[in-house]
Amino acid sequence: MTTTLKTRRASLLGPGLAVLLVLLAVAAFLSVTQGARDIGLPEVMRALGGLSVDEAITSTVTLELRVPRTLLGILVGAALGVAGAILQGVTRNPLADAGIMGINAGAAVMVVFAITVLGIRGVSLYIWFAFAGAVIATLLVYTIASMGREGATPVKLALAGAAVTAGLISVTTGIVMTNIDALQELRFWQVGALAGRYMPVLVGVAPFLVVALVVAMGLGRMLNGLALGEDVARGLGQRVGLTRAVAFGVVAVLAGAATAACGPIVFIGLVVPHLARLICGPDYRWLLPYSMLLAPIILLLADVLGRVVGAPGELQVGVVLGVLGAPVFVVIVRYGRMSEV
């Protein structure tokens, strides 16, 4: 009976991805059309086709604001969802995400450095410093955890991530408490938002995110081996150290670029892999693509909700996800399978 249910479930995984693609298209449509100024589908199609619309402002809002924002939301959501799933698999820690592995803290330190030392202002300018800080912090965590004969074990990775995060947060706090300009800029970036991220930001991070997502989709079999334990993985011929290094490199690019572009968006990387696991099970060959589609759906819908609830202004998506993500995660902890990573 159990085998029959598993076979039936496996047969539905492919169609399930198709359903998620449809839901992603719906979420993208809502993201483009809904907001302080609602735009109908005919106007959107005319603007995208380069045709004139009734009002010039409609074309401007569509092409220069909402389309880049929606595309960035899709890429950033997919990146954070996949990065969270990989981190949880590599560290075998159900609470692993970009926040506790030093990625957010590393990006924040470099943003503060760009503002205070170099006098840089604006997301499109200091995005590269944030990206570099996130990558450096990730590599630092992995290097520290790799010291010793055992190498980068799950426990050492978690401890190294916590230590690096605490140290970097202390440095950032110490700087911004003495520099009001850095504090104001950091507050704008650190809330986590898709608003104000225009085409230059999208064009800057898109190549990194697309390439890293493609590479990530090929890690499923290796992550399945790690899930069985290091000894079993080595017995199957897997090079555990190399697998962890590649996985951390992919996470550094995915979470680093996403965090640099939109700030530290909470709960996506933590909650989405667990939601995906409830749907498709622990097989990373399915878990990664499910996380890649579920995350942008949730991110875009939360962004739309922030615009609707906060009209005529808007609530940033990081705030909305923080409010909604906590109770959802409590439900997952209570009824889900937190240990199956």
* Higher local confidence (pLDDT), 167 or 326: 167
Largest CA distance in the chain: 68
Determine, yes or no, domain membership for 341.
no
Comparing CA positions, the residue from 328, 299, 305 lying closest to residue 77 is 299
* Higher local confidence (pLDDT), 216 or 234: 216
Assess whether pLDDT exceeds 80 at residue 196.
no
* Higher local confidence (pLDDT), 199 or 124: 199
- Please write the tens of the pLDDT for every residue from 276-326: 998 888 899 999 999 999 999 999 999 999 888 877 777 888 888 888 877
What confidence tier does 194 reach under pLDDT thresholds 50, 70, 90? confident
* Higher local confidence (pLDDT), 265 or 188: 265
Determine, yes or no, domain membership for 172.
yes
Cα separation of 62 and 89, whole Å? 39
Place of tokens 């005529």: 312
pLDDT computed for residue 338 by the predictor: 55
* Higher local confidence (pLDDT), 190 or 23: 23
pLDDT computed for residue 101 by the predictor: 80
User: CB-based contacts of 142: which residues, under 8 Å, 6+ apart?
Assistant: 152, 157, 160, 244, 245, 248
Where in the sequence is the domain holding 190, given as residue range(s)?
Answer: 2-335
* Higher local confidence (pLDDT), 3 or 19: 19
What's the whole-number average pLDDT of the chain?
81
Determine, yes or no, domain membership for 202.
yes
- 256 close to 134: Cβ distance less than 8 angstroms: yes
User: If you average pLDDT over each of 44-48, 191-195, 277-281, which comes out highest?
Assistant: 277-281
- 161 close to 143: Cβ distance less than 8 angstroms: no
pLDDT computed for residue 177 by the predictor: 81
Assess whether pLDDT exceeds 50 at residue 1.
no
For 178-203, what is the mean pLDDT?
79
Assess whether pLDDT exceeds 80 at residue 105.
yes
Helix (H, G, I), strand (E, B) or coil at 53: coil
Determine, yes or no, domain membership for 340.
no
- Please write the tens of the pLDDT for every residue from 315-337: 888 888 888 877 877 777 776 55
In this structure, what CATH number is given to the domain that contains residue 307? 1.10.3470.10
Could you tell me what percent of the chain has a pLDDT over 90?
Answer: 20
Question: What's the total number of domains in the chain?
Answer: 1
pTM: 0.86
- 213 close to 257: Cβ distance less than 8 angstroms: no
Could you tell me what percent of the chain has a pLDDT over 70?
Answer: 84
Determine, yes or no, domain membership for 251.
yes
